Amino acid sequence: MPFQYLLTNLMVDVPGAHGAIFLDPEGEFVEYVTRRSTPYELKVEGAYHGLLLRTAGRLLRGAKGGEVVEVAVAGSALKVISRRLKGGYYLVLVMEPMAPLGLARRAVERTAWALNQEIP
């Protein structure tokens, strides 16, 4: 499966990307690519964003807002986009704070579509 290729292309498409990680429903990494973060940092960030997606999903469903598709968090040191995939899998992109969020969201959406084609 071309997971490494898809994550590498995501990193190339987003200026200021630090790392991208594809995770299973339990928060374990399937594949990752990192430029500035250590593998450990990226795996921890990915696991926590799985919790964030599930918590946001419960809140949104409780408010009758449907299912969470994506969560974007902008902090003073990082921006992170987390996107749900089919089967409980998810994708996380970690970026520097000045990274272009709109461009990153479109790149994550394209990558998510391609990953969903590869998930059984």
Query: Going edge to edge, which strands form the sheet with 79-84?
Result: 29-34, 17-23, 90-95, 79-84, 70-74
What mean pLDDT do residues 37-41 have?
Answer: 89
Report helix angle 3-13 to 101-118, nearest 10.
Answer: 170
Structural domains present in the chain: 3-118 (3.30.450.30)
Rounded (10°) CA dihedral 25, 28, 29, 34: 120
What mean pLDDT do residues 97-116 have?
Answer: 97
Q: Per the confidence metrics, is the pTM higher than 0.85?
A: yes
The predicted structure's pLDDT at residue 67: 87
